Amino acid sequence: MVQRMDDHLFFLRLLVVLLLFALGIMLAMVYLPSIPIVGDLPGDVEVDLPGLSLYVPFTTSLLLSILLTIVVYLIKRVSKK
């Protein structure tokens, strides 16, 4: 009986995390283009050739990864208390 309750709680937590992740993606798509520094950092590669346009945001991806790592760390630390 306890195992089934744990399974339901795990599924509920997973669902909440996925919904929050989707909400975060949607908010980022709306608000990040209006922030002028995002996507215009040194290290972001932009190639414009005839018939080809390529944009690879290396630095922006690195900064977002660090930021998300810190957020996940803080959430885990707070949830343990």
Per-residue pLDDT of the chain (81 residues; tens, 9 = 90+): 556 667 778 888 888 888 988 898 888 778 777 767 666 788 888 899 999 998 888 888 898 899 889 988 888 888 776
Distance between CA atoms of residues 38 and 33, nearest Å? 7
Q: Quick one: pLDDT at residue 35?
A: 67
Please say whether the beta carbons of 65 and 51 come within 8 A. no
- pLDDT attached to residue 27: 83
State the Cα–Cα distance between residues 13 and 54, nearest whole angstrom: 38
State the burial class of residue 42 (Cβ atoms within 10 Å of its Cβ: 0-12, 13-18, 19+): exposed
pTM: 0.54
Q: What is the CA radius of gyration of the chain?
A: 19
Q: Torsions phi, psi of 40, nearest 5? A: -125, 30
Task: Give the pLDDT score at 7.
Answer: 75
